[in-house]
Amino acid sequence: MKELRAVFVSVSILPVVIAVVVLAYSSLALSQDSQPAHSSPSAPPGPAKDPKAGANYSGMYSFLKEGEFVQVTVEDGVHLTGFVSRYGDGESDKGAFLDQFFKTGNLEGNKISFTTETVHGVWFDFKGTVERGEGKNPGDEGYYVLKGTLAQSSTDVNKKVSSHSRDVLFKMFPQEMGPTPAARN
């Protein structure tokens, strides 16, 4: 029986040993990645990349009609993801709520652009800037605004593309208006 207990103890420790080895390897890899490949004392340091630089732009912004919105998420300070939630205005989707995820998104400083996926023959291109709005404190309505040009394109049944552009100003929603987490039982 004593030999059998020793086997169970060693098998139960195995996940802990594996976890320690993985963590040690990960921290070693991270420390090697953070070391510069070469350093030149005469070369000035490059611009610091702050992964949180654009993170405060993340949030929900108004869109074209009441009840519609743009969700913008800034990841690593430069990667832009999100979606547009809007009411359909075609014959087949009139009044239906549609989500159009970003096909591409870019943030460079305060310059922002995105293109949505095509849903029911319609897609959007936005090019503009993120600017301080009228909100006084972070979390206030309109603390940030997306200001620029929105192009709405569509295709008809004959695959003919039509597009029209307009200048827009999308205000950030107050933080309290975000979706509330579901209650857990």
Superfamily of domain 55-175: Avidin-like (2.40.128.30)
Cα diameter, the chain: 80
Per DSSP, the three-state class of 68 is coil
The answer to whether the beta carbons of residues 24 and 16 sit under 8 Å apart is no
At 80-127, the pLDDT tens digits run 999 999 999 888 888 899 999 999 999 999 999 999 999 999 999 999
Residues contacting 67, CB < 8 A, separation 6+: 87
Question: pTM above 0.75?
Answer: no
Per DSSP, the three-state class of 139 is coil
How do the domains of the chain map onto residue ranges?
1-30, 55-175
